[in-house]
Structure 1
Amino acid sequence: MRRVWPLTVRGTGALVLAIACFVLANELGLVELLYFGILLLATLAASIVSLYVTRRTESVGRSLSPDVATVGRPSTVTVRVGVRTAVPTAAGLWRDAVPAGLTGVAHGVFPALGSGLRGDERAVELRYTITGARRGVHPLGPLSVTSTDPFGLARRSNVLGVRTQVTVTPAIVDLPVLANFSGESGGTLHTTTNQIGQGSDNLIARPYAPGDSMRRIHWRATAHRDALMVRQEEQESTPEATVVLDRAAERWSAEALRTTGLDAGFEAAVSSCISVVSRLVTDGYVVELIDSDGTALADPIDGGDLGGVEAVATHLATITARRGDTLAKLPLLFAGAMTGPVVVVTGRFDPADAEALAPLVHHSALPIVLAAAPTGDALDRATDLGWRAAPIGADADLVAAWSGAADQGVSNVVA
């Protein structure tokens, strides 16, 4: 907020003293008091003028580390201020405006600057830490700098109207590995591990390339082809997994349709969604993220591609609910096909929804449903129909929900 009154408490006292000197000089007939009052006014005027000629801000830029903020994870903000000044300046105070979607202490002492007679721009770097509080895109700034003259009589508040848009991605929870299902629905990492040491049937030979370890030379193939060959584990299949984020507005509050970060249930669902995607990608699955109507919410992510997970998290930073309830039609997307794990993340979930999703169980190696607002015995009914079901929500433990769902029963795969 820009200050209207340009004087500090000390400067205001000096102004009052100067006025008192004029009054007393007239009453007592002392010319010395008149001279002293004029001197005080001249000093105040010089102090105010000095604030407008000694420092000029040329540029303001911000950078974050890491580049994208995450809910619950701290990020370091570096503010680079380019300043030109011809004479030395005193220290001041700075403050960066932090929006409601972020938390952090963004104020401190702006350093004093020495003389720069050649007029070269000098950079002042300010650092502070912020933490993502709400998913979405939030404007950070502007920066305000309050400076005083060397005598501390006058002050100037300069608001630098530069804002930086900060993207806050949903929190990614580290979920446990589905170790019990490596044989039935495990990803490529499980498959590769199982193949190592099982003999030459699981190996292929390829030409040697610079950088290959000499310990991997396939001597039999080298002798047969008269060229240096190396062993490579053959990947027999690329298992796929599908994560479904049900964005139907009918299953969430009205806030989920309007903007991000206001519906606690929807925020828990988005966080659960990206956490499951991260877990499956880490396990080696090719993961496809879709809406309940079949719309792809991101490009498929290859197994082990953690960079792809970060890209999806950035995309989910701005996602909201949409109109139209299509959860009951989800099984039609998998008709006539078999797939790996299918994880459905939804909001309001009732027994009728469990009945509608029942046909999908027979097309997935590992069907899991996570509901933010289950009603009645919906989750029990889903479990009876072959789903692994668990509640999620703003106060729920996602790790416990994921582990609990994975531990329920056995997979219902029909050949």
Structure 2
Amino acid sequence: MTAPGGPAATRADEDHGIGGDGGDAGDKSGLRTALAGLTTRGRSFLAAGVAAAVCAYVLGQSDLLQVGLLLAVLPLVCAAVLYRTRYRVAGSRRLAPARVPAGSEARVHLRMDNVSRLPTGLLMLQDRVPYVLGPRPRFVLDRVEAGGRREVSYRVRSDLRGRYPLGPLQLRLNDPFGMCELTRSFSTYDTLTVIPRVEPLPSVRLTGEAKGYGDGRQRSLALAGEDDVIPRGYRYGDDLRRVHWRSTARYGELMVRREEQPQRARCTVLLDTRYLAFHGAGPDSAFEWAVSGTASVLVHMIERGFSVRLLTDTGTSVPGEGSDGFAGTSQGSADSAGIMMDTLAVVDHSDGAGLSRAYDVLRGGHEGLLVAFLGDLDEEQATMVAKMRQRSGAAIAFVLDSAAWARGADGGAPIQRCEERLRMLREAGWTAVAAPPGRSVAALWEQADRERITAGPTPSAGTTGGWS
């Protein structure tokens, strides 16, 4: 970036992982740009000089005319000199981290490099940030020598999840007399993702786990035999004794027998986002608690080795609509969690009135463990949720009484309507737990485990997807 007036220079410091480097600054040419940068002092000098020159002409005072010309010319000369200054400055920004939980701080590192052969003057560096992240940071940089650099940093924090743009970066240049100030901006920006709070959950035994990853899991072996073996391409380090010569001759490249593949247990986490199902807004609302609970369960199940899927009432499946819609097998666990956390960072209320679309997705086949975070349910929606249990090996529901959350109740007994919905779900085989305000997700997770143990296995629970 040229400060000001010349072509901008951009650079990303890859050695330090600095991303989001600034783009070319807008270059406004002409006298109008220079005059627009006059400060209050510069405008005052110009006005005083013009007034003095007019008075000198009327009164015939040559000395006063010289003073007036000096006052008027000084800000114009400063603006011209400042505008014609052509040293090049490169800027870059780095977020640490770029994804942060709500209520936690992230640090933004800014780096300015003088890539010209001339030292800079006094620079003011300013970064644009949304209001919810804090005040707009401003830094004053002293004279930067040719080839030199300056690094500054500031902190941002938000209690509200979302995606927030940072930038573009701005530079202000002043002349030594304070007569003129010109601003140049980079064109690009970075994005800070504020994800929901993730609460660590206690470990409970889940029979949906496949062997090879813990107790109660099952392992499926690759088909063996000369005629039905499933080969794959040779990879560096494979044992040559596993080469399948018939397939090698068929494909013209080395093929090896596939190793036994562990069958990962599945878990679907259903988030109810219906606008009619929740009341209130803000970090302490029922909907935000449900989003945070969903994030906590997703991370917990990925850590336990499950193939997971995030499902909303709209029928949207995250991270994808592949052959089964689950993540964790073909993708790394960190990538899967990142995709779902990014989705939960921006999830909002839906306009739908029912859960029929989610039911259509779930009735397609065996879903393994099903964990649902539900808002207010009428009788029709409670019946539909109860039917979801028929296709799932085990099902846990956290039902929120959003009216109690809106009142700010302290976690007393749920109202009668909520109790009726819980009873309907329990009769259908769900482990249903009321989620009153003030209770943590970890506490309710343990409560669900205790209620499951007290209730015992149900005939519809099956043998591969329940809790144990």
Task: Map Cα deviations across residues 328-349 of structure 1 (whole Å, 9 max, x no partner).
Answer: 6766766696654211123323
Q: Residues 305 and 109 from structure 1, CA distance in 2 versus in 1: closer, same or farther, beyond 3 angstroms?
A: same
The question of 1:345 aligning with 2:362 is answered no
Q: Answer whether contact 1:243 1:277 (CA < 8 A) is retained.
A: yes
Q: Residues 372 and 22 from structure 1, CA distance in 2 versus in 1: closer, same or farther, beyond 3 angstroms?
A: same
Residue 84 (structure 2) aligns with: 53
Distance 2:436 2:134 in 1: 22
Residue 243 (structure 1) aligns with: 269
Q: Residues 48 and 316 from structure 1, CA distance in 2 versus in 1: closer, same or farther, beyond 3 angstroms?
A: same
Residue 130 (structure 1) aligns with: 156
Aligned-partner residue type, residue 201 of structure 2: P
Q: Residues 167 and 188 from structure 1, CA distance in 2 versus in 1: closer, same or farther, beyond 3 angstroms?
A: farther
Residue 26 (structure 2) aligns with: none
Distance 2:292 2:199 in 1: 11
Within the candidate set 295, 298, 312, 1:291 is matched to: 312
The question of 1:380 aligning with 2:419 is answered yes
Give the percent of matched residue pairs that are identical in Structure 1 and Structure 2: 23
Residue 155 (structure 1) aligns with: 180
Aligned pair count?
A: 367
Residue 196 (structure 2) aligns with: 171
- How far has the Cα of 1:281 moved from its partner? 0.8
Between structures 1 and 2, the one with greater strand share: 1
Tell me the TM-score normalized by structure 2: 0.62
Q: Answer whether contact 1:346 1:370 (CA < 8 A) is retained.
A: yes
Distance 1:149 1:336 in 2: 70
- How far has the Cα of 1:309 moved from its partner? 0.4
79-88 or 132-141, larger mean C-alpha shift: 79-88
The question of 1:139 aligning with 2:165 is answered yes
Aligned-partner residue type, residue 270 of structure 1: V
- How far has the Cα of 1:109 moved from its partner? 1.2
Q: Secondary structure at the match of 2:198?
A: coil
Q: Residues 81 and 405 from structure 1, CA distance in 2 versus in 1: closer, same or farther, beyond 3 angstroms?
A: same
Q: Secondary structure at the match of 1:98?
A: coil
The question of 1:406 aligning with 2:443 is answered no
Residue 64 (structure 1) aligns with: 95
Q: Residues 265 and 290 from structure 1, CA distance in 2 versus in 1: closer, same or farther, beyond 3 angstroms?
A: same
Task: Map Cα deviations across residues 10-56 of structure 1 (whole Å, 9 max, x no partner).
Answer: x5675677579769978999866654554444433332222212255
Q: Please show how residues 2-401 of structure 1 align to structure 2 within 5 Å.
A: 4=36, 6-9=38-41, 11=42, 35-55=66-86, 61-81=92-112, 87-100=118-131, 102-103=133-134, 105-114=136-145, 116=146, 125-151=151-177, 153-160=178-185, 162-164=187-189, 166-179=191-204, 181-182=205-206, 184-186=207-209, 191=214, 237-252=263-278, 264-292=285-313, 294-299=315-320, 300-302=326-328, 305-327=333-355, 340-350=368-378, 352-361=380-389, 364-374=392-402, 376-381=415-420, 382=422, 384-385=426-427, 386-390=429-433, 397-401=440-444
Task: Map Cα deviations across residues 232-253 of structure 1 (whole Å, 9 max, x no partner).
Answer: xx98753221111234444357
Q: Answer whether contact 1:55 1:89 (CA < 8 A) is retained.
A: no
Task: Map Cα deviations across residues 208-234 of structure 1 (whole Å, 9 max, x no partner).
Answer: x9799xxxxxxxxxxxxxxxxxxxxx9
Q: Answer whether contact 1:89 1:150 (CA < 8 A) is retained.
A: no
> What are structure 2's unaligned runs of at least 5 residues?
1-32, 219-235, 240-259, 321-325, 404-414, 463-468
Distance 2:168 2:263 in 1: 53
CA RMSD of aligned residues (A): 4.6
- How far has the Cα of 1:79 moved from its partner? 3.9
Q: Residues 188 and 246 from structure 1, CA distance in 2 versus in 1: closer, same or farther, beyond 3 angstroms?
A: farther
